[in-house]
A and B are shown apart, each in its own frame.
Chain A
Amino acid sequence: MTSTRAVVTEGLTRRFGDFTAVDELDLEVATGSVFAILGPNGAGKTTTVRMLATLTAPTSGRAAVCGHDVVTEAEQVRRSLSLTGQFAALEDNLTCRENLVLMARLRGHSRKDAATITDRLIERFDIVEFADKLVKSVSGGQRRRTDLAASLVIQPQLLVLDEPTTGLDPRSRMEVWSSVRELVSDGVTVLLTTQYLEEADQLADHVVLIDHGRAVASGTPYQLKAQIGEQRVDVVTSDVAAFDALVTALSGRFTLTTNRERRSLSIPAPDETADLAAVAKAVHATGVTVDELALRRPTLDDAFLALTGSPSSHPAEETA
């Protein structure tokens, strides 16, 4: 009964007092796939993940992980899944190696097996050079890699990563991504949450966009991007007069999204650099000076705007 769907939720809901964190959420994660829950801060991503990991009980609805109900078969769920939480949950005053050994032993491995598994993970996640440092003295990226390794002291059927790269610098983010890709090639099903459209695009086979605990859109990254539009060219002028002049000059030739207050306008660029060149040429022809003219990827806010017709109600912390 488990084979094709690693996670199924039906009407999954969690309330905290009057606040509904997760609202009638239906998800289906195919076994062997990478599934991303994309949404801004406070959208209900972490609460969803905590319910799947048996850390928070649903208020109503149901959820099953690898065919086991998260409420009535919590023990089997915990055996099937490994969770890497949003804040690296390692013991600060133990070394990276000691943390991994502890996790392996708690998963039921013998002392000897735990040591072997730990050595293998240290090698694989490139932890070697800081393996015997205390966790509190390693960098954020190193810590996150150790945390990821700690989730893999067993071969889980489902690996759950809650915002695996939030707060990491770009290089560390790439490292985490490559670790995740490697796991996926080993056949692990991955459910991850993220605030970054780019991250979902890079890693996931299927993305669900959530806001206020509800799914607002879902599909492959390709489908979502097709709806959102690919890249855009952004132009910011130095003053309002220049802004008005530019809008007048360009409005016949391009589809403009304008923000007069910020003196910025945005133009879809499906042909990327070709469109960038066309816009640059047109701007140059008007003789108006601009502060900024750049090609950029769609952000989470663009996604909300395109898919729901309104901006996300939460300030997105940062966009990739």
Chain B
Amino acid sequence: MTTISLSPTVTPRRFTGEVGLLVGRGFRMLPRVPERLLDVTLQPVVFTLLFLYVFGSALHITDPAGHPVRYQDYLLPGLIGQQLVFGLIGTGTATANDFASGVIDRFRSLPVHRLAILTAQVVGQVLEQVLGLVIVVGIGLICGWRPTFGIGGFLELVGLVLLGLLASTWLGVLIGMVFRSSDAVQGVGFSLVFPLSFLAGTFVPIQGMALVPRVIGEWDPIAALVASVRRVCQGTPSSGSWMLEHPELAMVGWCVLIIAVCVPLALRRFSRS
């Protein structure tokens, strides 16, 4: 059966109550397995310092008008994008582990709405990833990153990032359910996310790359994310493809597409399996 029966007894209040209980379960466990949070604590710090002080010393980046750009100001929007897409690996791993342990099956055998179980998974992961982003931003500011946006720009940034997080988290949940093993998720995740995040103009501009990586980069969803964050934070325009000339629009489009595909697939998979 592939249909999700929305039971008549589900009220919004009960639904949010169930989500709250399930999210609470995840957070209660965190202090007991602090290593689970390494990907959103230590990893962003290491990445930021590594790229800033290893590559930053040799790279001289200019904006499309030819003006030099401080590497902090170039790199940080890229790292925000990278942290966000790495989140999908963390989400996928956590989801695969939950499914393997039988805990999710037990929840599924309860009269708890199945969408509540998935929503809790997504909400819990989004909250964890927010922590990672706060750390990236914090370490960036300490190292001299100076975003130039006002209140409006800040709100726009928050909106874009949250939308991106939702998309990457739902994708991660789906991947975790499909592969059902955290090793497989890590393998697939890294071999896909790693190159795509490097091709996305995260660390060096796309325009200077050779033809093949450049074309991939110009249509890489992560590039839309990075370019839109960069535009909002520093006012740096981007160009090269329709997508990079309209990064916010492209970013919203990619996210809506990912969410529109992943949510029904995840629910379908979850309700039958």
Tell me the A residues contacting B by CB distance below 8 Å: 53-57, 71-72, 74-75, 78-79, 81-83, 85, 87-94, 98, 102-103, 105-108, 134, 150
List B contacts of A134 (CB < 8 A): 32
| Given A85-B105, A91-B25; A107-B110 close (CB under 8 Å) | yes
In the complex, are the beta carbons of A83 and B109 less than 8 A apart? yes
Contact A57 B1 (CB under 8 A): yes
Task: Check A85–B102 contact: CB distance below 8 A.
Answer: yes
Q: A55-B105, A89-B106, A91-B103 are in contact. Are A78 and B25 (CB under 8 A)?
A: no
| Contact across chains for A75 and B5 when beta carbons are under 8 A apart | yes
Known: A57-B272, A106-B18, A107-B111. A83 touches B28 (CB 8 A): no
Given A55-B109, A57-B272, A78-B111, 7 other A-B contacts at CB below 8 A?
A54-B108, A71-B1, A74-B5, A89-B101, A92-B101, A93-B33, A106-B110
A-B contact pairs, 20 of them (CB 8 A): A54-B108, A55-B105, A56-B273, A57-B1, A71-B1, A74-B5, A75-B5, A75-B9, A78-B110, A81-B109, A83-B109, A89-B101, A91-B103, A92-B101, A93-B29, A94-B25, A103-B110, A105-B21, A108-B14, A134-B32
B110 touches A89 (CB 8 A): no
**Is the beta-carbon distance between A85 and B106 smaller than 8 angstroms?**
yes
What CA separation (Å) do A254 and B25 show in the bound complex?
Answer: 63
Could you tell me how many residues of chain B have their Cβ less than 8 Å away from some Cβ of chain A?
26
Query: Among residues 12 to 52 in chain B, which have CB atoms less than 8 Å away from a CB atom of chain A?
Result: 14, 18, 21-22, 25, 28-29, 32-33
Top-9 shortest CB links A-B: A89-B102, A89-B106, A93-B29, A75-B7, A78-B111, A83-B109, A57-B1, A93-B32, A53-B109
A106 touches B109 (CB 8 A): no
Contact indicator B28/A98 (Cβ below 8 Å): yes
How far is it, in angstroms, between the C-alpha of A98 and the C-alpha of B103 when the chains are bound?
14
In contact, B107 and A106 (Cβ under 8 angstroms): yes
- Secondary structure dominating the interface of A: loop
Asked whether B112 is an interface residue with its Cβ less than 8 Å from the other chain, the reply is yes
* B73–chain A nearest beta-carbon distance, Å: 41
A94 touches B28 (CB 8 A): yes
B103 touches A89 (CB 8 A): yes
In the complex, which residues of chain B have a beta carbon less than 8 angstroms from the beta carbon of A107?
110-111
Question: Quick one: which of B66-117 are within 8 Å of A by CB?
Answer: 101-103, 105-112
Find chain A residues with CB under 8 A from B109 CB. Answer: 53-55, 78, 81-83
Task: Please give the distance in Å from B242's CB to the nearest CB on chain A.
Answer: 44
Of listed B5, B7, B110, residue having the most chain A CB within 10 A: B110
- Give CA–CA (A107, B33) in the complex, Å: 27
Q: Which residues of A contact B14 (CB under 8 A)?
A: 108
Residues of chain B within 8 A of A94, CB atoms compared: 25, 28-29
B120: shortest Cβ distance to chain A, in Å? 11
Determine the distance from Cα of A98 to Cα of B31 in the docked complex, in whole angstroms.
14
When distances are taken between beta carbons in the complex, the residues of chain A under 8 Å from B18 are 106
B25 adjacent to A75 (CB under 8 Å): no
What is the minimal beta-carbon distance from A264 to any residue of chain B, in angstroms? 39
In the complex the two chains form, what is the Cα distance from A55 to B273 in whole Å? 7
Question: B203: shortest Cβ distance to chain A, in Å?
Answer: 36
In Å, the complex CA distance between A57 and B271 comes to: 9
Which residue of B9, B22, B103 contacts A90 across the interface (Cβ within 8 Å)?
B103
Q: Which one of B5, B9, B102, B272 contacts A87 once the chains associate, using CB atoms below 8 Å?
A: B102
Q: Which residues of B contact A82 (CB under 8 A)?
A: 109
A272 and B146 CA atoms in complex are apart in Å by 89
- Residues of chain A lying within 8 A (CB to CB) of residue B1: 57, 71
Q: Which residues of chain B have C-beta atoms less than 8 A from A103's C-beta?
A: 106, 110
Kindly provide the distance from the CB of B3 to the nearest chain A CB, expressed in whole angstroms.
Answer: 9
Instruction: Find out whether the CB atom of A83 lies under 8 angstroms from the CB atom of B21.
Output: no
- Report yes or no: A106 in contact with B273, Cβ–Cβ below 8 A: no
Chain A min CB distance to B173 (Å): 18
B112 touches A106 (CB 8 A): yes
Q: Specify which chain B residues have a CB less than 8 angstroms from the CB of A53 in the assembled complex.
A: 109
Residue of A nearest to B25 (CB): A102
In angstroms, Cα B5 to Cα A94, docked, is 31
Give the residues from 108 to 135 in chain B that come closer than 8 angstroms, CB to CB, to chain A: 108-112
Contacts of B101 in A (CB 8 A): 87, 89, 92
CB closest chain-A residue, reference B108: A55
Of all chain A residues, the one with the shortest Cβ separation from B9 is: A75
Residues of A within 8 A of B112 (CB): 106
Contacts of A75 in B (CB 8 A): 5, 7, 9, 111
Contact residues in A for B7 (Cβ distance below 8 Å): 75
**Taking each of A72, A78, A81, A107, which has the highest tally of chain B beta carbons within 10 Å of its own beta carbon?**
A78
**Bound CA–CA A94/B22 (angstroms):** 13
Q: What is the bound-complex CA distance between A71 and B255, given in angstroms?
A: 34
User: In this complex, what residue of A is CB-closest to B4?
Assistant: A74
A87 to B110 alpha-carbon distance, docked (Å): 17
User: Most A CB atoms within 10 A — which of B1, B18, B103, B273?
Assistant: B103
Alpha-carbon gap, A79 to B113, bound state (A): 12
A106 in contact with B105 (CB, 8 Å): no
B106 contact set on A, CB distance < 8 A: 83, 85, 89, 103, 150
Of B32, B33, B107, B109, chain A has the most CB atoms within 10 Å of the CB of: B109
